[in-house]
Structure 1
Amino acid sequence: MNNPDEATGGATFDDTALRAGLETFGGDAESRRVVARHARDLADSGRYAGDADVELTAEHVVVQLADAPNGGPVERWNWWIGSLDLAFGGYAEFRIRQFG
């Protein structure tokens, strides 16, 4: 698969919309940008769509991160990615390892 759009069925991930949606969780613009970049990488991989049978959209990410117990965008992202890694395996590469 040479074209990332092939992994997402031709859809493109709207990281601008995700950055806007992440404002709900506080944090600064840089933390929202980092989460959006990792979310785009996850969407481009097609892994989540394959495992969960759900297209990864900006809205879907915000809904999932709202379930996190607390924290800013990075903490919520890592909580969700940890949950996916426990459920399906293979998501650790999408964890934000160092930030700030």
Structure 2
Amino acid sequence: MDRQELERVLRETFDDAGAAGVVARQAGDMADGGQYDADFDGELTVDIVVANLQDAPADYSLAERWNWWLGALDLSHGGYTRFSVRPDVDTQS
């Protein structure tokens, strides 16, 4: 997965420049780990990430949307909480 492309799309789609980089890094780590590929018989893509984040409640921040999706993945398959982000994450580092 192209982390830079995901970060760009997250910024545009969710208007959250601060969390976009953090979520893109976590998504990239998740893709690199291969668990998603194994669990769903396919590669994690930018489109898959964005589509699933759009399913989260509309009033959620980007970080909350990411954690919401990871919670669902963890309930259904296990092992995804390690990719969660804190909503108060330092986005300036």
TM-score with structure 1 length normalisation?
0.80
Larger deviation: 75-84 or 16-25?
Answer: 16-25
Asked which structure has the greater CA Rg, the reply is 1
Aligned residues: 87
**2:64 counterpart SS class:** helix
Cα RMSD (Å) of the superposition?
1.3
Matched, 1:76 2:65: yes
C-alpha distance in 2 between matches for 1:38 and 1:54: 18
Superposition pairs of residues 1-80 of structure 1, within 5 angstroms: 13-22=1-10, 23-27=12-16, 29-70=17-58, 71-80=60-69
Letter in 1 for 2:4: T
The question of whether the paired residues in 2 share the 8 Å contact of 1:81 and 1:91 is answered with: yes
TM-score with structure 2 length normalisation?
0.85
Q: Which of 78, 89, 93 is the equivalent residue of 1:99?
A: 89
Q: Deviations over 1:55-93 (max 9, x none)?
A: 101121111111111222211110000000000011110
Deviating above 4 A after TM superposition, structure 1's stretches of 4 or more consecutive aligned residues are none
C-alpha distance in 2 between matches for 1:83 and 1:54: 18
